[in-house]
Amino acid sequence: MSLQVENLTVYYQTLRGEVHSLEHANFNLGDGEIMGLAGESGCGKTTLGNSLIYLAPPMKFIEGQVALDGEELPVWDIERMNEFRFKKISIIPQYAMNAMNPTRKIGKMISELLQSRKINYKELLSVIKERLDKVKLPHDVLNMYPIELSGGMKQRIVMVLSTLLNPSLLIADEITSALDVSTQKSVAEMIVKFRDCGCMKSVIFITHDVSILYQIADSIMIMYAGQLSEKASKETIIHSPLHPYTKLLISSLPKVGVKHSEKKLTGIPGTPPLLLNPPVGCRFRDRCPLAFEKCLETPPFVEIEQGHFLACWKEGAPYA
Amino acid sequence: MLKLDSVSKIYKIGTFGGKELCAVNNVSFDIKDREVVSLIGESGSGKSTIGKMILRLISVTSGHIFFNGENIASLKNNGLKNYYRKVQGVFQDPFSSYNPIFKADRVFRIIHDEFYPDVSGKDWNIKVEDSLRTVGLNPDIVLNKFPHQLSGGQLQRFLIARALLLDIQFLVADEIISMLDASTRIDVLNLLADLKSRGLSILFITHDLSLSYYISEKAVILYRGNVVEMGATDKIFYQSLHPYTKMLMVSVPRLDMKWQENVEAKIDRTMQPGGCVYYERCSAIEKNELCAKSPPPLVQIAEDHFVACFGYKP
Amino acid sequence: MTARSQKHEMLFFALRNTKLRVGVSILLFFILLTIIGPQLTPYEPNDFVTSGAFPPSSEFWLGTTTFGEDVFTQVVYGLRATFIVGIVGGGLGMLIGLLIGFTAGYWGGIVDETLNMLTNIILVIPTLAVLLIIAAYLKVRGILTESLFIGFTCWPWVARAVRAQTFSLRVRDFVDMARISGMKSYKIIFSEIAPNMMSYLLLVFILQFGGAILTAATLDFIGLGPTNTISLGLMMNMAVLWSALILGSWWWFIPPGLAITAIVGALYITNVGLDEVFNPKLREM
């Protein structure tokens, strides 16, 4: 088991109160597993990703345990996480490729970054070059400025950089969202390739686009309004999901071959609840066609079959 | 209804405008009554530029755009206002489409002031509420709010309701659902498709092929300002001919098919100016010297199917 | 958060801001003095009320000049000139700057390039040299002539700032939305673009106001000011000309100098305070 998360609860502190953006997250990640994390904007997927590596204010740790390779991660302590960050657990944040310093050459930027972690750039140079070969970038890029590179190239450099020390876990936050379809594909496939050759053990791939996950992930976890809804193999999530939210979400996605004139797709009526003062119980309750009295209690996220986790009173009942 | 005839847009860039950047090159296509045409392209393909040229927000460098037989470049003052009565647009970013310091319903008041100053306030409110219900919004909930108090989906519907207040015949929908969440985007898409039954034609600008397939009868594929393939949606999707279209088809993530290992394009930087725009990235075996020298013309190869590629032999 | 509560919040921070309170209080004091000052004195600024320079006394609050003019009377009338220069000169500069800035920023292209060139030319013209020439031709110069001159030369900074702001606002989708609503260009500028930079424009006006006063004082001091009226700068000019410094008549030049410094300083403090109110990032927590 590469990553074990138990009961992780993280709030956001705002002037108007605490936003309950992640509550009681319980899940495991196997060695070599690429887990896709999907959900609408504001559902807490980025909060989950960030809280595993850099839990800084306004994020506030409430409770929970996280273990990586059997070793407990002090996620609530920014200082102590320093020895894990980048070495054991690494992140590609959203918009990372646009955050490069435009006045630094790529090589200089990497060397400065490594220096801040007290790692010698020269010693790692051979690894860097080998990794650049892997992502099909010429070694010249080290002498280039970010402006000379396309979005896809920048994203690949960020990927090489964040996996240089072969971390156990890589968190990739929306790394394909701003890219064109063709580049999207190659960047996503790079992730699989890196995993296969051991550049990192397992991956949490955060995105709002479920169809990409179907292409590259092993398992998919669906979040809704700060709670985990369902986690299973990608085949199960796409073809036979159980949670009502997953079902409605998958069925609302337009696919090539579906025409409006032939088959009209439907969205999910309603909007997600505000997480400032979230309703008690299952947060999908108001929009759920199956909701009943029991849903006033929060459904636990339990394993109903091998590798299939679900938080729903109704659909989970037959397995209880 | 709307016809683009050899439309080009060239920007002068660099100091003293020494260099030229061709954003749109010689694009021609037409949109018939009650037809939804999707304009598909990646970032920088010039798809939004075309939408803005149709809306007269950007001038055309060469070529003409005709609306019901009238050249829109010649429209002035009242003529232009009349044009906007019939032709409207909705843009990608719902939050940027509203002036942040005013309430969202100001977009309706502007329409009132500009187009229907004679309608009394009371009658106008009834019209606005009707229009809002048509797009599936509850007037009591959404009126009198500031843009940031509404969701992206609500704001986009608001803009569609705004367009419906006019005698609209043609709508330019520029990536209008790309910033919306999965669970709400399909409703906006359905709304757009339903407008067709009200007699509207729509230019649906997108980078998402499955959305285009869902809603449109005709598709135009753009690559760096050039039309590389166009025709009936089914033909484009199932009988793609241009290497770029084919690449798009295999790259788009789908829920019913896994990605295939694709043939890496040999990056060939020997291209001379004047060749096919896709030459550098093209991985077709038919690629030949001709491709490097002259741009392939857009030729009709079947009913409702056009392609611009030397590699294609009928 | 609604705009109403935003306004409330703005007011809350405005009332709490010490810089703003100090700045506005000083300004209000001088404005009040300008209005009621002439009622407090029985003399005219150029009346010879006594013979020679006397230090402040109960009869002449701020003393008298070498010619026996009352300094207090001259200061309150001079303040009026100062505020006129600030409002007319600063206001005119603001107006021209807005016009040019909006036009250049909104239309762009060749219009922008032409106006930009004009702006740069005005910017590099040595104001003083031009004024010397004008002064040579005009025998009688009033406070209004001076204000107009300042107005016509101080606008480039406004134009530049407004142009940059307009540039960034005009590419926003809501401007396109207004255009396809058939709105006329000038209407788009004033009802869509300008309201978004209101707070910024207020700050610019305050700086222009202060700048105009300072320029006027400089011109007056070197003798290029109005010839037919009194102003604070002119008082200092006379004081220096008639060796008040050497004779130790400090009451002749200290009051006008202090008034100018206080007004311009107060304007800048107000400006910084307002900046903090408008820009939440600068607020002292």
Q: Which residue from A minimizes the CA distance to B210?
A: A256
Q: Which pLDDT band holds residue B273 (cuts at 50, 70, 90)?
A: low
The span from the CA of C17 to the CA of C280, in Å, is: 12
Those residues of chain B whose CB sits closer than 8 Å to some CB in chain C are 52, 55-57, 80-81, 84, 88-89, 91-93, 96-103, 107, 110-111, 114-115, 146, 148-149, 159
CA-to-CA distance for B196 and B188, rounded, in angstroms? 13
- What would the two tokens of residue A202 be? 């397992």
Is the pLDDT at C3 greater than 90? The verdict is no
Length of chain B: 314
pLDDT band at residue B314, thresholds of 50, 70 and 90? low
Is the pLDDT at B264 greater than 60? The verdict is: no
Question: Can you give the pLDDT at residue C4?
Answer: 53
| Distance (Å) from the alpha carbon of B196 to chain C's nearest alpha carbon | 21
Per-residue pLDDT averaged across C260-284, rounded?
A: 80
Judge contact between B86 and B167, C-beta under 8 A.
Answer: yes
Asked if the ipTM is above 0.85, the reply is yes
pLDDT at C285: 40
Q: Please check the confidence at residue C282 and state whether its pLDDT lies above 80.
A: no
Fold classification of C3-282 (topology level): MetI-like fold (1.10.3720)
**How many A/B residue pairs have CB atoms within 8 Å?**
103
Minimum CA–CA partner of B76 in chain C: C182
The whole-angstrom separation of Cα C59 and Cα C50 is 11
What pLDDT score does C236 carry?
Answer: 83
**Domains, chain B, with CATH or none:** 2-238 (3.40.50.300), 240-298 (no CATH)
DSSP, res B296? P
Q: Sort out which chain C residues have CB atoms less than 8 A from B102's CB and list them.
A: 195
Distance CA A150, CA A301 (A): 42
**In this complex, is the C-beta atom of C110 within 8 Å of any C-beta atom belonging to chain B?**
no
For the stretch A9-67, pLDDT in tens is: 999 988 778 899 999 999 999 999 999 999 988 889 999 999 999 888 889 999 999 99
Q: How far apart are CA A246 and CA A222, in angstroms?
A: 7
For residue B271, pLDDT beyond 90: no
Å from C209 to nearest chain B CA? Answer: 27
In a mutational test of the B interface, the residue from C107, C180, C199 whose CB has the highest number of chain B CBs within 10 Å is: C180
pLDDT category of residue B128 using cuts at 50, 70 and 90: very high
Look up residue B99 and give its amino acid.
N
Query: What pLDDT digit, counting tens, does each position of B4-52 carry?
Result: 999 999 988 766 666 788 899 999 999 999 999 999 998 889 999 999 9
- The verdict on a CB contact (< 8 Å) between B251 and A182 is yes
State the pLDDT at residue A172. 94
A79 min Cα distance to partner chain B (Å):
36
pLDDT of B233 reads 94
SS3 B163: helix
Mutate to test the interface with B, among C113, C117, C177 (most CBs of B within 10 A): C177
Is C58's pLDDT higher than 80? Answer: no
Q: Is residue B67's pLDDT more than 90?
A: yes
The reported pLDDT for the residue numbered A306 is: 92
In the three-class reduction of DSSP (H, G, I as helix; E, B as strand; rest coil), residue B191 is classed as helix
Between B51 and C18, whose confidence is greater?
Answer: B51
| Residue-level pLDDT at B263 | 54
Residues in A closer than 8 angstroms to B254, CB to CB, are: 211, 214, 255-256
Name the CA radius of gyration of chain B, rounded. 21
Are the beta carbons of C177 and B111 separated by less than 8 Å? no
Residue B255 has its nearest CB partner, among A40, A253, A264, at A253
CA B91 to chain centre: 10
List the single range of B178-182, B232-236, C25-29 with lowest mean pLDDT: B178-182
Q: Do residue B80 and residue C176 have CB atoms under 8 angstroms apart?
A: no
In sequence order, the 6+-apart residues with CB closer than 8 A to the CB of C85 are: C143, C146, C147, C150, C212, C213, C216, C231
Res. B266: pLDDT tops 60: no
H or E element in which residue A6 lies: strand A3-14
CB B177 within 8 A of CB A253: no
Q: Give A191-223 pLDDT, tens digit per residue.
A: 999 999 988 999 999 998 899 999 999 999 999
Please give the residue that has the higher pLDDT: either C271 or A37.
A37
Residue with the larger pLDDT of the pair C233 and B298? B298
Weakest mean pLDDT among B102-116, B251-265, C222-236 = B251-265
Inspect the interface and report whether the beta carbons of B190 and A238 lie closer than 8 Å. Answer: no
Q: How close B208 gets to chain A, by Cα (Å)?
A: 8
Contact B238, B229 (CB under 8 A): no
**Between residues B273 and A70, which one has the greater pLDDT?**
A70
- Among A170-184, B197-211, C137-151, the least confident range: C137-151
Contact status, residue C62 vs residue C41, Cβ threshold 8 Å: no
pLDDT at B272: 54
Instruction: Note whether B214 contacts A: Cβ–Cβ < 8 A.
Output: yes
Task: Find how far residue B75's CA is from the centre of its chain.
Answer: 22
For residues B171 and A176, the model is more confident at: B171
Kindly report the three-state secondary structure assignment for every residue of chain C: CCHHHHHHHHHHHHHHCHHHHHHHHHHHHHHHHHHHHHHHCCCCCCCCCCCCCCCCCCCCCCCECCCCCEHHHHHHHHHHHHHHHHHHHHHHHHHHHHHHHHHHHHHCHHHHHHHHHHHHHHHHCCHHHHHHHHHHHCCCCCHHHHHHHHHHHCCHHHHHHHHHHHHHHHCCHHHHHHHCCCCCHHHHHHHHHHHHHHHHHHHHHHHHHHHHHHHHHHHHHCCCCCCCCCCHHHHHHHHHHCCHHHHCCHHHHHHHHHHHHHHHHHHHHHHHHHHHHHCHHHCCC
What percent of chain B has a predicted confidence (pLDDT) above 70? 94
Distance from CA of A150 to the nearest CA of B (A): 12
User: Secondary structure of chain A: what % helix, strand, coil (to 5)?
Assistant: 35, 25, 40
Through-space distance between the first and last CA atoms of chain B, rounded to whole angstroms:
31
Token pair recorded at residue B289 = 């010297």
SS3 A75: coil
Please give, rounded to a whole number of angstroms, the shortest distance from the CA of B22 to a CA of chain C. Answer: 18
For residue B98, give the chain C residue with the closest CA.
C174
- Of the partner residues A181, A248, A264, the one whose CB lies closest to the CB of residue B190: A264
| DSSP state letters, B32-54 | -TT-EEEEE--TTSSHHHHHHHH
Q: pLDDT by residue (tens digit) across C235-263?
A: 888 888 887 778 878 888 888 889 889 99
Among C176, C181, C196, whose Cβ lies nearest the Cβ of B110? C181
Structure tokens at C19: 């810089």
A214/B252 CB distance under 8 A: no
Across the interface, do C176 and B55 touch by the CB < 8 Å criterion? yes
Contact present, B2 and B201 (Cβ < 8 Å): yes
Handedness of CA A303, A305, A306, A309 (dihedral sign): negative
C2 pLDDT higher than 50: no
Q: Which residue has the higher pLDDT, C53 or B292?
A: B292
Cross-chain residue pair A238–B189, CB shorter than 8 Å: no
- What is the residue-averaged pLDDT of chain A? 90
pLDDT of residue B305: 94
**Domain layout of chain C by residue ranges:** 3-282
Compute the C-alpha angle A134/A139/A144, nearest 5°: 125
Helices C91-107 & C156-170 angle (0-180, nearest 10): 40
Instruction: Pick the range with the lowest mean pLDDT from B34-38, B112-116, C45-49.
Output: C45-49
* Alpha helices in A42-93, H assignment, sequence order: 45-51
Q: For residue C196, what pLDDT is reported?
A: 86
Question: How high is the pLDDT of residue C7?
Answer: 64
| Interface subset of B 272-311, CB within 8 angstroms of A | none
Provide the chain C residues 155-194 that lie in CB contact (below 8 A) with chain B: 172-174, 176-183, 192
Write out chain A residues lying below 8 Å of B247, CB-based. 182
Nearest to B53 by CA among B107, B108, B3: B3
Chain A residue numbers with beta carbons less than 8 Å from the beta carbon of B43 are 180
Q: Do residue A256 and residue B213 have CB atoms under 8 angstroms apart?
A: yes
Cβ proximity of A255 and A50 under 8 Å: no
User: Residue B172: pLDDT band by 50, 70, 90 thresholds?
Assistant: very high
